[in-house]
Amino acid sequence: MPPPGVCMNIINARRKKDGYGTTVNPEKFLNQDFQQLKQYCLIRRVRFVDDMFPPDRNSIGEGLLSSTDMARVVWLRPGKLVPNPSFTVDGVSRFDFGQGLVGNCWFLASIGALTFQTHIFEQVVPLQQRYEEDYCGLFHFKFWRFGRWVDVVIDDKLPTIDGRLIFVHSTDPTEFWPALLEKAYAKVCGSYADMNAGTPAEAMVDFTGGVHVCVQLQTPPPNLWELMCRAGQSKSLMGCGTPQGKTSENTVLPNGLVQGHAYTVTGVKQVMSQGTPVNLVRVWNPWGQGEWKGDWSDKSPFWQTVSPEDREMCLSVADDGEFWMTLEDFCRFYSDLDICCLCPDFLDGTSSCHWKTSFYDGRWVAGTTAGGCMNNLESFWTNPQYRVTVEKLFGECSAKQGENSMLMSLMQKPDKRNRRLVQNLHIGFSIFKLTKEVSSILTQSLGTV
């Protein structure tokens, strides 16, 4: 094994299109094979019951329900709730569902963003699943987890009280993809309770395996509007959150916004109002109701100052949780904006120049490769080191971008299955420019890397 600090020859984890751990060939979460389980159930004519995420109180988790309510929970299949259940009804939309008892607005806000991107949505939610044919109570969904896509199998027993779903529920009571998707993600997190509290970025990355950028809206970049427009054009997922208040969570403010709450950014548009351009942001509340009451809200008189075409295109006065506000108000009342895309095209506005991606898997080990931060100069050099080459651009890409670009992110893998038990450690990385002279010296002293 090389000594601490050596630029180790780490395996490049960029995978082939048909490789293991991709959307085409995902890993089997908890070693459960969807096709084998389905064939077994169809041949035996039985309905699947998931012993890895059983219909009991452990799968609900602690702290969500009182002991009295927990005793009232009955796990029912959709066929016991409605006469003719369906996986989807008339396609999928952000207006299909509303939040239940678990505080997972961050997850539902991400689903709202996901419904805009059909290709990505169908990677996560296989739409060929049906209640009408080959039904055996078995469903599956795919998530990107720390570098690999995993296929998550569930049964369709859902927790209810008095015959009503206690977590996410659909606007159409016969549609069940939202509740089943939530259950699959709860299984990945460890329980429904483990989904309580989070940020849209977490779920958006799990839905895409893409690049995440967080913008602090109290000090927004000068090109924020252009960045959001490019993100919309590049089929990105966008979420945002309001600041935590001094009072209890989920307090609805006089302006209609909810404190400490996650929302979805569903659109951006510039309109002309009395000859002046106005930059508007469209936002959606995953509760499915409750909207902004300020300027450019549904009943705002400002809508009478735009063209009839813009008013017809943008305005909906239904209390569906979706509303418009100016970019200035958006920055004033929201704390952060999360943008997640399969490729970081939205950063530089290019779509014809494709980025190359690499994934490296490593760890810090106490006493050997955990050298601390730059304040610990005597041991900092023992941290794992990886050598990255930023290749020269050619042709059209070189003319468009001018300089080479690199985007790097660091992700911490959990050491426990239950999300709420994971302890996030303080980790980070530093980037240094390696000159040809230093590279040559290192190569000669440490061997070919």
Same structural domain for residues 117 and 179? yes
Q: Say which of 105, 240, 331, 340 is annotated catalytic.
A: 105
Q: Say which of 136, 140, 196, 285 is annotated catalytic.
A: 285
Question: Of the given ranges (18-27, 79-88, 284-293, 415-424), which has the lowest mean pLDDT?
Answer: 415-424
DSSP per-residue string spanning 115-165: TT-HHHHHHHS-TT--SSSS-SSEEEEEEEETTEEEEEEEE--EEEETTEE
Report the pLDDT value the prediction gives residue 432, as an integer from 0 to 100. 84
Same structural domain for residues 273 and 161? no
Domain boundary (295, 324, 340) is at: 340
Active site residue 314: no
Report the pLDDT value the prediction gives residue 182, as an integer from 0 to 100. 95
Same structural domain for residues 235 and 326? yes
The count of domains in the chain is 2
Does residue 437 form part of some domain?
A: no
- Output the CA torsion sign for 204, 205, 211, 214: positive
Cβ within 8 Å of residue 27, ≥6 positions away: 20, 21, 148, 149, 150, 151
Domain that holds residue 262: 210-340
Does residue 238 form part of some domain?
A: yes
Model confidence pLDDT, tens digit, residues 392-443: 766 555 555 556 677 777 777 776 677 776 677 778 888 888 877 766 666 6
Same structural domain for residues 262 and 310? yes
Burial (CB count <10 Å: 0-12, 13-18, 19+), residue 300: middle
Nearest-CA neighbor of 354 among 418, 397, 311? Answer: 397
Domain boundary (149, 179, 206) is at: 206
Same structural domain for residues 131 and 236? no
Domain boundary (301, 320, 340) is at: 340
344 band by pLDDT with thresholds 50, 70 and 90: low
CB 290 within 8 A of CB 252: yes
55 band by pLDDT with thresholds 50, 70 and 90: very high
Average pLDDT, the chain: 84
> pTM of the full predicted structure?
0.82
Same structural domain for residues 174 and 200? yes
Percent of the chain scoring above 70 in pLDDT: 86
CA distance 196 to 179: 16
Cβ within 8 Å of residue 222, ≥6 positions away: none
Please report, for the domain that includes residue 318, its CATH number.
3.90.70.10
Model confidence pLDDT, tens digit, residues 282-330: 999 988 888 999 999 998 999 999 998 888 888 877 778 899 999 999 9
Active site residue 105: yes
Same structural domain for residues 165 and 267? no
Q: Say which of 140, 169, 212, 261 is annotated catalytic.
A: 261
Model confidence pLDDT, tens digit, residues 132-161: 888 999 999 999 988 889 999 999 999 999
Active site residue 261: yes
Q: What are residue 181's phi and psi, to 5 degrees?
A: -65, -40
Same structural domain for residues 88 and 158? yes
